[in-house]
Structure 1
Amino acid sequence: MTLKTADLDLAVPVTGEAPCRRAGVLTRESRTAYAFIAPAFFLLTFLVAYPFVLSVWFSLSDARVGTTGSFVGLGNFGRLFSSSIFVQTLQNSILFTAAALTAKIVLGMALALLLFRIKHFKRLIRGAVLLPFIVPTALSTLVWWWMFEPLYSVVNWTLKSLRLADHDIPWLPDPYLAMFVVILVNVWRGLPFFAITLLAGLVAIPRELYEAAEADGAGPVGRFWHITLPLLTPVLAVVILFSAIFTLSDFNIVYVLTKGGPMNMTHLFATYSFALGLQGGEIGQGAAVSLFLFPILLAVVFLQLRLVRKAALYE
């Protein structure tokens, strides 16, 4: 049997064309991928990276409004610790974050368990729970300001109508009550985030585990401690991480309610940085206050991610 020249030409594969085609396809796909990534890259560069680098420079300079300033190193950070207002702000931030997070964890878990057990009107009730989280922060905080403002306080009117108080309570002028109100509003706004996220984790837990535990004689408390809580730990860790970042850097609630007063007892890092940098004109000092948050948030993120990783390995 003999093969003709044409048959030999057809039988011999062309080794150079297929790799070239694949390389061309990969090149086109890479260009398309870069084209889709480019808008996000530019947004991150100009809206995140550039402002961060600029704030680092400001924190290391004596810049004021209208002047570029000169390099002073860590002088701004050194002056912070000699400021009684900054020390008070640091204490306020720790108290505010710890109290708000604790309340949101406890109340969020309780609300998630209640939403999980609801049988009727599930969608309507769950949608209503999300309302505090959906409404713009400044708008909802203005309503809270009206409720606690001494001259128009509907809270004081209600307490006096129920004979629970015989005089107007100075909610916002009193330093300690003002901190209580700020924490209360932050918990009210952040509670839906905890509840809905934990509810999603509850729904994902297999029902067979509860049935087996109930068959073994475990009560509601035992099922919660040995099934619900361990399986919700990764979700809870992530929720606490995000909430800690949002709570520690809160600005709108404090600024609308108290503007950091009275007597600087409700100042947080964000409000004190705003007061120094924009209202006081000390851009460098205000940037130093805002950047003081960075190592704290970095430590919080590191610890929380370690907890999440340990929980994942444990499972």
Structure 2
Amino acid sequence: MADTALTQPAPAAFASRSAWARLRASRGWSGFWFMLPTSLILGLFLAYPLLKGIWLSFTNARIGRDGQFIGLENYAWLWDDDVFWLAVFNTCLYTLVASVVKFAVGLYVALLLNKHIPFKSLVRSVVLIPFVVPTVLSAIAFWWIFDSQFSIISWSLRHLGVIDGNIDFLGDPNLARACVIFANIWRGVPFIAITLLAGLQTVSPSLYEAATIDGASNWQIFSRITLPLLTPIIAVVMTFSVLFTFTDFQLIWAMTRGGPVNATHLMATLSYQRGILSGTLGEGAAIATAMVPFLLVAIGISWFGLQRRAWQSGGTDR
């Protein structure tokens, strides 16, 4: 009797459960249900504006007037626009130089903070200050530092007898580019340093002890242990760094408004100027849409290039 009961099929109530009920109870779909609210929010606030911007780029819409579909006319106009190509050059230069320097300085700071130093917790907190200060406040501070009349740098150099007059930092195109890049580096280094420091905390000290016993030099320890184990963290932090730097707007707009003579205009600031201030929404949307291929290439290089298995394992490409 007991054996017969054990071999009987599942109750009819369980067998008759609807496909929807079984789907809700499936463990394989649990991740999907947890991600669904976030996906809806991202779709509403990110995907929809992106698609709307792409559509506007194919129209002649202006502020207060619905546009008509004009195809690739906005892009053809930008192709012959010298200011647009100057903004592309500025954006690529700004992103490349700032990202490389931020990574180098951030990695160095992270290695220092990973050592046993006095007041380690306090120092780590102080390092974060440039990152947590609002961007506009940082931009105003740097605008004062590099001001043509009240620059603290010019004042110091004049009192030291190095120069006779003030330096027009934000009035010279090359100096202005250098100033905004320096300001971005100052703001971005703490993020990279703290993130890499978190990655360094996960490296087992026994690996360093074994390498030291085997007679490895500091460079060998760094290149064969630290760097390969940090590669996944580096890939993530550099992807975010490139993304944030390429789309930077607040710092540039608060410091220079894209001047002098468009020398510091990035694609984001030029898009705002053309689309909002000038009222040509279609042209501004076209500039913003043109940023997408550059972002995909930059993210692809920083992500997939740093995720090579050979580097992660400490080997070399074959």
> Which whole-Å deviations, capped at 9, do the CAs of 1:258-299 have from their partners, x for residues lacking one?
000000000001000001001111111111111111011112
> Which whole-Å deviations, capped at 9, do the CAs of 1:166-210 have from their partners, x for residues lacking one?
220101111111111100000000001111111112121122222
Q: Could you tell me which amino acid in structure 2 is paired with residue 81 of structure 1?
A: W
Q: Could you tell me which amino acid in structure 2 is paired with residue 217 of structure 1?
A: G
Q: Which has the larger radius of gyration?
A: 1
Aligned positions, number: 311
1:16 aligns with 2:18: no
**Structure 1 residues 215 and 39, CA gap change in structure 2 (3 angstroms):** closer
Describe how 1:83-102 pairs up with structure 2 within 5 A. 83-102=81-100
**Alignment correspondent of 2:151:** 153
**Alignment correspondent of 1:141:** 139
> Which whole-Å deviations, capped at 9, do the CAs of 1:227-274 have from their partners, x for residues lacking one?
222222222122111101110110011000000000000000100000
**Alignment correspondent of 2:199:** 201
Describe the SS at the equivalent of 1:292.
Answer: helix
Deviation at residue 226 of structure 1 after TM alignment? 2.0
**Alignment correspondent of 2:77:** 79
Q: Is the 8 A contact 1:146 1:153 kept in 2?
A: yes
Aligned residues: CA RMSD: 2.8
**Alignment correspondent of 2:303:** 305
**Structure 1 residues 14 and 234, CA gap change in structure 2 (3 angstroms):** closer
Q: Which TM-score applies when normalising by structure 1?
A: 0.89
Q: Could you tell me which amino acid in structure 2 is paired with residue 50 of structure 1?
A: Y
> Which whole-Å deviations, capped at 9, do the CAs of 1:45-97 have from their partners, x for residues lacking one?
32112211110111011111111111111121121120110111111111111
- Identity across matched positions, percent: 40
Q: Is the 8 A contact 1:63 1:282 kept in 2?
A: yes
Deviation at residue 304 of structure 1 after TM alignment? 3.1
Greater alpha carbon shift after TM alignment, 233-242 vs 42-51: 42-51
1:228 aligns with 2:261: no
**Alignment correspondent of 2:53:** 55
Deviation at residue 215 of structure 1 after TM alignment? 1.7
**Alignment correspondent of 2:211:** 213
Q: Is the 8 A contact 2:229 2:312 kept in 1?
A: no
> Of Structure 1 and Structure 2, which has the larger fraction of its residues in helix?
1
Q: Could you tell me which amino acid in structure 2 is paired with residue 17 of structure 1?
A: A
Deviation at residue 41 of structure 1 after TM alignment? 4.1
Distance, in Å, in 1 between the alignment partners of 2:23 and 2:215 is 63
Describe how 1:106-185 pairs up with structure 2 within 5 A. 106-185=104-183
1:45 aligns with 2:8: no
Distance, in Å, in 2 between the alignment partners of 1:10 and 1:106 is 67
**Alignment correspondent of 1:279:** 277
> Which whole-Å deviations, capped at 9, do the CAs of 1:109-160 have from their partners, x for residues lacking one?
1111111114322221111111111111112211111221122212221222
Q: Could you tell me which amino acid in structure 1 is paired with residue 169 of structure 2?
A: W
Moved over 6 A (4+): 8-14, 21-25, 30-36
